[in-house]
Structure 1
Amino acid sequence: MIQLKHVLVLVFLCVFSGISQSTNGYELWMPYSNIEDSSLTKKYRDYSKSIYFPGSTETLMIAKNELHTGLRKMLGLASIPTNSNRLENTMIIGTKENLNSDIQQSLSKAYVEIGNEGFIIKTVSIKSKTVLVVTANTDIGILYGVYRLLNLMQQHKNLHNINAVDTPKIKLRMLNHWDNLDRTVERGYAGFSLWNWQKLPEFIDQRYIDYARANASVGINAVSLTNVNANALILTPMYLEKVEALARVFRPYGIKIYLTARFSAPIEIGNLETADPLDPKVQQWWVHKADEIYKLIPDFGGFLVKANSEGQPGPQNYGRNHVDGANMLAKALLPHKGNVIWRAFVYSEHDADDRAKQAYSEFVPYDGKFMENVLVQTKNGAIDFQPREPFHPMFGAMPKTPLMMEFQITQEYLGFSTHLVFLPKLFEEVLDADTFRKEENSTVAKVIDGSLHNQKLTGMAGVANIGTDLNWTGHPFAQANWYGFGRLAWDPYLSSETIADEWLRMTFSNDESFLEPMTRMLIKSRETVVNYMNPLGLHHIFDTGHHYGPGPWVSELSRPEWNPTYYHKADSQGIGFDRTPSGSNATEQYAKPLQELWNDPQTIPEEYLLWFHHLPWDYKLKNGATLWDGIALKYQQGVDEVAGMITTWSIMKPFVSKEQHEEVTMLLEIQLKEAKWWRDACLLYFQTFSKKDVPDGVSKPLYSLEYYKSLKFPFAPGIRPQWD
């Protein structure tokens, strides 16, 4: 039996060794680790001597409890003193009406600026005493402000003379769960679905509450619970009462629930013979269904719809179009102020045109025809969440329609939860891209936040990477992608470097000896993966179905655009997809300045080279290397960079727990093994066309091409169902 004195020693070491007490990752970026810097602790304690925090709503009580928990853990306080006389306190937290008139007047302009969700964190002088004020117009603004204050303290920021006025730039900040009702998760690599439908509605798992806390801490305010490949049962009474229980948990955290609506639900659960959106009986069925949902969940957000895509039913089944389908649902939701989110991820097996062009061709003609409560949700690129894609040409091309960004946080095409990939760098690249649609600097971010075309309804969605794994996301560093998505949905102009610094400080350590090399490693990690998977604009060369590892040879699937050979078009003459006017002319869907830049292989950025051009193996790159040598060297560079990540992580032992270090080390070793697999398999296959030796500096493959072709992965998680 372990003696009590040994337990006390262990606790002492955990608290005072500089290592977070939470070593399993469950607390995410909110471990509120003890602050060892005595001078900093004193400053924070000075603000915490006496706190005025009125109000007893659910949201305010959550904010109070979070503040008390954070201050106790970070500052080692046994309790947090409160004082009912607001003028005698060192910290004042409250909505506008709870502050004295002098403070209200000094912040009057800021109150207008922050709206319903923003907050103010400011030091003010009251009777020659400095007071820290956290204020907002609403309770949810107070909650966001408290989380931001605690985040700043976790980052050891100086609060003296702080004047933070912040409000979200995007209205709808949403996680899309691709969770099935049997608790499997399509493209999920962190265990099963969080939602235990069997035990709901009576049993409320603590994870639901902690999930809501994590989302609120970064300002995520909407969640769709189930897969876009939808199951109509979620709209039946037996499931809606369970959804209502989750809505009750999420509501005080400012989170609205959305449901994925299967377009054929009127047939499957409504006993109708059709789902034609122009049929009056179908229209009435959706009106009654909306009324039923809002009676249970008054703040229900609305429907997320995948229609006429990859086997999903939709309005085209009845000779109708996307506007007919979306507007039918929008009319049913409009009296309740609900929204329809209509996904633009469409490509038809009956359309022989370049898959990259099809969504634009199908949706842009409908610009301005959708109802005011419809958002068209568009993936960041025109193919499918590749390690690198040019931004989707729809962004900027539909000025009369709110376009909602869809990013993928789960790493479907990025090594699942075994590879370390910091995705905010990918998100930033897309958001910063210039569409050139109105004037220079007409960025994708300006499309998404509504400022480019004066849109009031705005949104950003992220396909969640969350499951029942103890650390939520499978890979400890995949938590940064959830965190980073939330921060960019709040402010799409943040830099990935800022996000990396924040997350590392809160999750692990504020030591500069840790932060500098680890920030560099995170920022570089996405490019590393591009190098060993899809260099120089190659794309969608993943093995079929599961997308686990390389499969550039796959060519026998039933639809041409499901085959990797469709995308790289390697032959004896060269490699790449010609999307210039001499090929599919996909560049025509972009603004003129980009057409001119991208149509010429001499001016296009080389990271997009093979996305838009089919070029000879001997084509000379800007560095003088041939295209074949350049591809091979990029693959090797990716492998070498993973080896460098292992070296960097090996010297981080003093800053993380033993368990954390060992876990990430094992995962990095898997990543290195699989980076070599990507290099060897792809080069061996492409070599059958180029007939060239790999250049000096590139390691020779360990096995034959036939060996790599023979590999099977029945254990790969998150495999999507195959549709007829």
Structure 2
Amino acid sequence: MKQLQIYLFLFLMIPLAVFAEDGSKLWLRFPAKNGISTSKIITKSNSATINIAKKELSSHWFGSAVELRLDPSLKNLKDGYTIKSVKNTTVISSSMENGLLYGVYHILRLQQTKVDLSKLNITEKPSYDLRFLNHWDNLDGTIERGYAGHSLWKWEDLPNKISPRYGEYARANASIGINATVLNNVNASPNMLRKDYLQKVKVLADIFRPYGIKVYLSVNFSSPKVLGGLENSDPLNKDVQKWWKDKASEIYKIIPDFGGFLVKANSEGQPGPQDYGRTHADGANMMADVLKPYGGMVMWRAFVYSPSKEDRAKQAYLEFTPLDGQFRENVIIQIKNGPVDFQPREAFNPLFGAMKKTPQMVEFQITQEYLGFSNHLVFLAPLFKETLDSDTYADGKGSTIAKLTDRSLRPEKMTAIAGVANIGEDTNWTGHHFAQANWYAFGRLAWNHNLSSDQIADEWLKMTFTDDQKFVNPVKKIMLTSRETAVDYMMPLGLHHIFANGHHYGPEPWGNYKGGRPDWSPVYYHQADRVGLGFDRTKTGSNAVSQYFSPLNEIYGNIKTTPENLILWFHHVPWDYQMKNGKTMWNELCFKYDSGVKEVRNYQNTWDSIKPYIDAERFSAVQGKLKIQQEDAVWWKDACLQYFQTFSKRPIPAEIEKPVHKLEDLKKIKLNMGHHN
């Protein structure tokens, strides 16, 4: 009897162990069929990709029979697909096997979110050909701007020991249509191109391939000199060109479908063609030429700025627009969404649309370098949408960044979009359970940039937690307002880059790194003085407004017509300037910081109220993070308002919560954020 009790106990424990809600399953919490009669799966094809599609259906699909049909006539959909209900069968058709797999994940998502599956008639064509995660992972396992533990890639163990998470990673990406990955940091080690590392990369490429994911590498421009022992890495040096040509040949022998290179050059001290008096085009074209025979491409980053008297926000535009039309056709310029650096809110990058003859792609940051790391709940779909939907007027009204980069307005040979990954080896992948939503949102928008933030949040919550509306509705409200809330308690009204130096976690508006780079100092960006606050980018200032197409240059150049959420980005605004709501700028600034703090407290109350609807593990993990976020919001408010008050000499309005911390004490805080990187 005792033995039977032990067996019974162990049997009962199994489901608990398997279904512990630690976040490791991400949004892929599909119900398992556990022996329930299997729906019929019909297909004439047989391959590793089709086998994954069949396995997903036989494990998780409860609906009608499914037919997977390869149909060459659907080539115009690229790796998109159609899903049609035909009698008692759901027919998924695509011209590509990856498309069939994406179609399978689509119907599993519909099943998971309880959509009616009886009359399906869906056509999906991706917004972008290449949908990238950029990993800033280093060969020693650390991740630059990574807040979820060490790298997934165990370079020490590869190629012999293979982590099960490589396959799980590929599956999660395929489920949202991500089809390309750059494995290593843009601040690249030349060693990435050594033969022993290429053999390790091959193992990952082989695992990812059936899921439709191609591998790319960040490369260090000085690799020929460092690895090859050449005299220099001058792109016009024949020996250097030969070195890259031989390296490309070696890579493609090992990984025949290798995607290409991502390059950060002549930025933040990284080597590049300018070291030899050459241009970005000279450097990019040399690499493009060696990759072309294999169908490879070069993504050349426009994130360039060097110590200069010029406004940092202008530098990418100044360096790249003169090179328009000089790049090879397999080069695409990768441009950060804003002109400074992944701030909570930036004006969009004026380089978008300014190069008429050069393909461009957007680079977003999924990892929250400037948004509270993995401690703050900040849903980024609204930030991504704000950029994609911005009208540049480059080709007239309606020239949104989405349309300029997705082939709608310009007949580009290739289109792409990238997000800097927030994934590490933490059990829940991203450090904060809600940070998973940003990986998900990036993938969904890369696939279809017309989706709304609301729809993406809705899908993700139902798949990741529960479809109970008593949970979904209030928590979705948190998600959809969270980005604006973070802007309010950190840097409202267009303030930017007033973070503590180095780690970018907390506030340091007083930061003035004497002897260092002025454009790494918060005082460079906020320009506070007794007159007012903000960076003058009008004609009387840096004239960054001139880089925008008309009518934006006039709109941004005039304080009265500049959107108030960017007013301190474009103008040095007097403390007593009257805002649209009648408040002075100083009072509005105070109310914004205060409202950010209050909103996070509302989030805490909302979250406490949904406790009955979800598992205890994730409930308490998120509750703990919200407590940190609330304390950080107060820290930001107290630091910024008391510091700016030393210039404004105006009282903080009586209705606003009094500071908890003294400015002198806040100035002494020196965080050691080593454990975060």
Which TM-score band applies after superposition, normalised by the shorter structure? over 0.9
Secondary structure of residue in 2 paired with 1:133:
strand
1:267 aligned residue (212, 225, 233) = 225
Distance in 1, Cα, partners of 2:650 & 2:136: 43
Secondary structure of residue in 2 paired with 1:207:
helix
Distance in 2, Cα, partners of 1:67 & 1:565: 56
1:342 aligned residue (293, 300, 309) = 300
Please say if 1:124 is aligned against 2:82: no
Secondary structure of residue in 2 paired with 1:285:
helix
Change in CA separation of 1:172 and 1:49 when aligned onto 2, cut-off 3 Å:
closer
Question: Do 1:174 and 1:460's aligned partners in 2 also have CA atoms closer than 8 Å?
Answer: yes
1:362 aligned residue (316, 319, 324) = 319
CA displacement, residues 623-682 of structure 1 (integer Å, 9 cap, x when unaligned) = 111111111110010000000111111111122101110000000000000000000011
Distance in 2, Cα, partners of 1:674 & 1:440: 41
1:323 aligned residue (258, 270, 281) = 281
2:115 aligned residue (134, 157, 160) = 157
Please say if 1:29 is aligned against 2:27: yes
Alignment correspondent of 1:390? 347
1:525 aligned residue (482, 487, 492) = 482
Structure 1 residue 11 displacement after superposition:
6.7
Structure 1 residue 136 displacement after superposition:
1.4
Structure 1 residue 172 displacement after superposition:
1.1
Distance in 1, Cα, partners of 2:396 & 2:552: 13
2:55 aligned residue (65, 80, 83) = 65
Question: Do 1:185 and 1:718's aligned partners in 2 also have CA atoms closer than 8 Å?
Answer: no
Question: Do 1:21 and 1:33's aligned partners in 2 also have CA atoms closer than 8 Å?
Answer: no
Q: What does 1:235-634 align with in structure 2 at a 5 Å threshold?
A: 235-349=193-307, 351-557=308-514, 558-634=516-592
Distance in 1, Cα, partners of 2:519 & 2:544: 15
Question: Do 2:149 and 2:676's aligned partners in 1 also have CA atoms closer than 8 Å?
Answer: no
Structure 1 residue 688 displacement after superposition:
0.7
Aligned partner letter, 1:124: V
Distance in 2, Cα, partners of 1:7 & 1:601: 69
Please say if 1:91 is aligned against 2:66: yes
Alignment correspondent of 1:223? 181
Aligned partner letter, 2:82: I
Secondary structure of residue in 2 paired with 1:284:
helix
Question: Do 2:41 and 2:54's aligned partners in 1 also have CA atoms closer than 8 Å?
Answer: no
Identity of aligned residues (%): 53
Q: Which moved more, 1:293-302 or 1:59-68?
A: 59-68
Structure 1 residue 33 displacement after superposition:
3.7
Distance in 2, Cα, partners of 1:352 & 1:193: 38
Alignment correspondent of 1:114? 77
CA displacement, residues 267-296 of structure 1 (integer Å, 9 cap, x when unaligned) = 100010110000111011100000000000
Aligned partner letter, 1:118: G
Q: Which moved more, 1:143-152 or 1:304-313?
A: 143-152
Secondary structure of residue in 1 paired with 2:86:
strand
CA displacement, residues 31-60 of structure 1 (integer Å, 9 cap, x when unaligned) = 11479xxxxx9xxx99x6422234331111
Secondary structure of residue in 2 paired with 1:700:
coil
Distance in 1, Cα, partners of 2:246 & 2:652: 65
Distance in 1, Cα, partners of 2:584 & 2:149: 44
Paired residues, number:
672
TM-score, normalization by structure 1? 0.90
Distance in 2, Cα, partners of 1:716 & 1:201: 29
Question: Do 1:194 and 1:208's aligned partners in 2 also have CA atoms closer than 8 Å?
Answer: yes
Aligned partner letter, 1:114: L
Q: Which moved more, 1:48-57 or 1:214-223?
A: 48-57
Q: Which runs of 4+ in 1 moved over 6 A?
A: none
The answer for unaligned runs of 5 or more in structure 1 is: 36-40, 81-88, 98-107, 720-724
Question: Do 1:50 and 1:91's aligned partners in 2 also have CA atoms closer than 8 Å?
Answer: yes
Distance in 1, Cα, partners of 2:75 & 2:332: 26
TM-score, normalization by structure 2? 0.97
Alignment correspondent of 1:52? 42
Structure 1 residue 686 displacement after superposition:
0.6
Distance in 2, Cα, partners of 1:171 & 1:371: 18
Question: Do 1:540 and 1:564's aligned partners in 2 also have CA atoms closer than 8 Å?
Answer: yes
CA displacement, residues 416-469 of structure 1 (integer Å, 9 cap, x when unaligned) = 000000001100010011011112111010012122222121110000000000
Distance in 2, Cα, partners of 1:424 & 1:261: 30
Structure 1 residue 696 displacement after superposition:
2.2
Secondary structure of residue in 1 paired with 2:530:
coil
CA displacement, residues 52-72 of structure 1 (integer Å, 9 cap, x when unaligned) = 23433111111111222223x
Question: Do 1:402 and 1:450's aligned partners in 2 also have CA atoms closer than 8 Å?
Answer: no
2:649 aligned residue (691, 695, 700) = 691
Secondary structure of residue in 2 paired with 1:377:
strand
Aligned partner letter, 1:439: G
Q: Which moved more, 1:514-523 or 1:302-311?
A: 514-523
Question: Do 1:186 and 1:718's aligned partners in 2 also have CA atoms closer than 8 Å?
Answer: no
Alignment correspondent of 1:668? 626
Aligned partner letter, 2:137: D
Question: Do 2:39 and 2:58's aligned partners in 1 also have CA atoms closer than 8 Å?
Answer: no
Secondary structure of residue in 1 paired with 2:132:
strand
CA displacement, residues 151-195 of structure 1 (integer Å, 9 cap, x when unaligned) = 111111111111111121201100100001100000000000111
Question: Do 2:32 and 2:59's aligned partners in 1 also have CA atoms closer than 8 Å?
Answer: no
Alignment correspondent of 1:83? none
Question: Do 2:32 and 2:60's aligned partners in 1 also have CA atoms closer than 8 Å?
Answer: no
Q: Which moved more, 1:598-607 or 1:663-672?
A: 598-607
CA RMSD, 1 decimal: 1.9
Alignment correspondent of 2:142? 184
Secondary structure of residue in 1 paired with 2:385:
helix
Aligned partner letter, 2:229: N
Distance in 2, Cα, partners of 1:11 & 1:603: 63
Alignment correspondent of 1:166? 124
Q: Which moved more, 1:544-553 or 1:693-702?
A: 693-702
Structure 1 residue 318 displacement after superposition:
0.4
Distance in 1, Cα, partners of 2:259 & 2:676: 27
Alignment correspondent of 1:85? none
Distance in 2, Cα, partners of 1:682 & 1:191: 30
Alignment correspondent of 2:94? 136
